[in-house]
Amino acid sequence: MPLTQRELLDLEEHLKLQQLMIKQLSFCATTCNDPQLQAMCQNMVDKHQRAYNTMAKYLNPNLQ
């Protein structure tokens, strides 16, 4: 079943938020001096990247 216009807009907004989180957490991971905090930030980057990839499949099913 295709997504409604509202659902597409919401999905695009969530994708933008995921991209922002990825960017901010990547910055933290690369600038942090504490190895534990750096690893935590990188794990969160990976989590948000997976969420982004999953949501992006709804906009472009050919990405699977």
Summarised one tens digit per residue, pLDDT across range 19-48 is 999 999 999 999 999 999 999 999 999 999
In eight-state DSSP terms, residue 18 is H
Tokens representing residue 47 in the block: 């989590």
In eight-state DSSP terms, residue 10 is H
Q: For residue 42, what are the CA distances in angstroms to 15, 36, 57?
A: 19, 10, 23
pTM of the model: 0.84
Q: How high does pLDDT run on average in the chain?
A: 92
For residue 55, give the nearest of 4, 19, 6, 1 by alpha carbon: 19
Phi, psi of 46 (to 5 degrees): -60, -40
